[in-house]
Amino acid sequence: MITRDGDKGKMLTRRAAMVAGGQLFLSSILLGRMYYLQVLESDRYKTLAEENRISTRLLAPPRGLIYDRFGKVIADNNQNFRALVISEQTEGNLNATLEALNKILPLTDGEIQRIRREVRRSRDFTPVTVRENLSWEEMAAIQLNAPDLPGIIIDEGLSRYYPCGEYAAHVSGYVGIVTEQEIAASGNPLWKLPGFRIGKSGIELQYNTELCGKEGAQRVEVNAVGRVIREIERDEGVAGKSLSLTIDERLQEIAYKRMKNESGSAVLLDIYTGEVLMMVSTPAFDPNAFNRGLTPEEWKSLANNDKKPLMNKALGGLYSPGSTFKMVVALAALEAGVIRPDTKIDCKGYTMMGNHRFHCWKSGGHGELNLKEALMHSCDIYFYEVARRTGIDKIAAMAKKFGFGSLTGINLPGEKAGLMPTRHWKEMVLGEQWLQGDTYNVGIGQGAILATPLQLAVMVAALANDGIKVKPTLIVPENRNPNIMRGEYLNISKNYLQLMRDGMFEVVNNPKGTAKSAKVDVNGKLIAGKTGTTQVKRISMKEREQGLKRQEDLPWEDRNHALFVTFGPTDNPRYALAVVIEHGGGGSTNAAPIARDIMRAALTLNPAGQSPAKPRKTIISSGGKQ
């Protein structure tokens, strides 16, 4: 028994020694690791701890301003006071805070739903926008009732402001809050900032990157849950680039006020530089409304409006050019040699093609006319015959020289190319052969041909500029040299171009011209032009028998479009203008008087007056690239 017990004691002693040795070994490892971390690696882990304690946050830079050609502000940044809510400071009852706020700052159901949605998506300490652009009275009311509004704070920032309102809306465009889809598509972290806005249309969209600038950064100390304790460093970033536009704000306002009761558009170009001096589309919208946020009802009212106030019709509206296209047809015929300037054609009021009768707008006919007289009277029979002799291939080739069927390349989003129909187009798109009647229709600017008001302005600018077509632009070049003109030479006889200008002069200044009501005389400066009327719905024989004979008797949407193109001064051209009035009836009665008033303002204000009357050097591009 004694021996057995002695052996047992020895065994326990060995086990104790082994355990003690193991503990010593583990302790040595732990001590070594602690020494390694606290002494050898101390600098590294201090850095890591610092990084976990310091947070870097992006700051939105001020957006660049937009000016007109003379420095008038088109898009500005205003001081913006806004109400924010911090969920963790609402004492656990966000609804109670919003209900209390609603009594002094009425909130719509849509606003309340948005606030709740953003609060759910955000961390409790992240501010969420309640309302922007607070008035002094609203801020005072919030401050006065602050004890009853836990979690509500007032913040100061910048918001976009458009002093021109509606009359420059389609040029400037507007900014709006970034959507989740836009954030996902962009990947730009700056866009994730609460309430961050980007360009949604117009110049604001086209030059959004330049206008946004370069983001700044704020280094702050945060606690364990990420709440800011103090600001350590701040870099405001780089403000967005400001832009100078080619438009004249004065002409914008004049044109808009003249057209605001119509649905249509007008574009005024400097024929030597391509600078857009005025671009108006009506009806318009208030870009400031988008900045503050539209209600669903306001958005539906704009989006569902038959007159399309959100569309820039100057470059997105498509219309048959009507008789404004007759100069192109005439030039194609002259260049093809199928007529001469003195070629006469007899107008009896109609012409026959097989069993089909094509009418002139003047039912009694014009009698015998030469080309200049045909332009002055806008005789349809003359141009039916000229188109027949020329053929669609040569007409289409001439039209494409002037830019029909192609984008002008203007620096604005939303431009449409229009359509210049050809044999190939009809076969490929409609699966039909080209007919002689199609050529007749194109001969007077009807049928499938479609153009934008901007394309019509480019066309008349090239006519006035001796066949040099310039590319329209809305941005003043930084290194602009007014003595140099860049354009595409159309290679058309200057004598033929002069004949077109002479015919357009008679349209306005001859008592028998179709646009004698558009005559302008500003200190001896006159204008020339061409009317156009495009049929939207033909009045049937049955409707005529029922007494429906006048355009005014038709519903608005079935009435003809009214067009007028013009240039001036006639002795030394500088400005080209196109006006389109949707469903306005005749070009001579509706579009021409509006164009007259705009051209009178242009000749009086002379926005290009600081430049030479005509550039002394011309740089011709090849292939239409400018």
| pLDDT (tens digit per residue) in 273-282 | 999 999 999 9
Q: In this model, does residue 13 exceed pLDDT 70? A: no
Contact in structure between 246 and 276 (CB atoms under 8 Å): yes
- Please, which residues have CB within 8 angstroms of residue 157's CB and are 6 or more apart in sequence? 80, 82
**What average pLDDT does this structure show over 438-459?**
97
User: What CA–CA distance (Å, rounded) separates 172 from 168?
Assistant: 6
User: What CA–CA distance (Å, rounded) separates 361 from 353?
Assistant: 17
| pLDDT (tens digit per residue) in 167-201 | 999 999 999 988 878 888 888 888 877 778 999 99
Contact in structure between 289 and 341 (CB atoms under 8 Å): no
For 43-81, give the secondary structure using H, E and C: HHHHHHHHHHHEEEEEECCCCCCEECCCCCEEEEEEEEE
- Residue 115 tokens read as 């606030």
- Please, which residues have CB within 8 angstroms of residue 112's CB and are 6 or more apart in sequence? 98, 102
User: What CA–CA distance (Å, rounded) separates 294 from 462?
Assistant: 42
Q: What is the DSSP letter of 575?
A: E
The β-bridge partners of 131 are 83
Cis (ω within 30 of 0) for the bond into 106?
no
Higher pLDDT, 42 or 219: 219
| HSE (side-chain half, CA atoms, 13 Å) at 295 | 8
Place 528 in a pLDDT band, splitting at 50, 70 and 90: very high
Q: In this model, does residue 623 exceed pLDDT 50? A: no
CA distances from 470 to 68, 232, 500 (A): 21, 54, 19
Choice among 87, 265, 281, 323 that is catalytic: 323
Contact in structure between 213 and 237 (CB atoms under 8 Å): yes
User: What CA–CA distance (Å, rounded) separates 243 from 287?
Assistant: 18
Domains of the chain: 57-244 (3.90.1310.10), 249-299+310-621 (3.40.710.10)
Residue 48 confidence (pLDDT): 46
User: What CA–CA distance (Å, rounded) separates 243 from 67?
Assistant: 6
User: What CA–CA distance (Å, rounded) separates 568 from 527?
Assistant: 4
User: What CA–CA distance (Å, rounded) separates 280 from 260?
Assistant: 9
- Please, which residues have CB within 8 angstroms of residue 94's CB and are 6 or more apart in sequence? 85, 87, 116, 119, 151
Of 450, 407, 416, 464, the closest CA to residue 268 belongs to: 464
pTM of the model: 0.85
Contact in structure between 371 and 502 (CB atoms under 8 Å): no
| pLDDT (tens digit per residue) in 560-617 | 899 999 999 999 999 999 999 998 876 678 899 999 999 999 999 999 875 545 665 6
Q: Beta 264-270 vs 276-282: how paired, if at all?
A: antiparallel
Burial of 156 (0-12, 13-18, 19+ CB in 10 A): exposed
Most distant pair of Cα atoms in the chain: their distance: 151
Is 323 among the residues known to form the active site? yes
Q: Which helix or strand (DSSP H or E) is residue 113 part of?
A: helix 109-121
User: What CA–CA distance (Å, rounded) separates 322 from 336?
Assistant: 22
Place 228 in a pLDDT band, splitting at 50, 70 and 90: low
Residue 624 confidence (pLDDT): 39
Contact in structure between 525 and 498 (CB atoms under 8 Å): no
CA distances from 216 to 56, 240, 410, 439 (A): 10, 12, 32, 61
Sole residue written with tokens 């009359």: 167
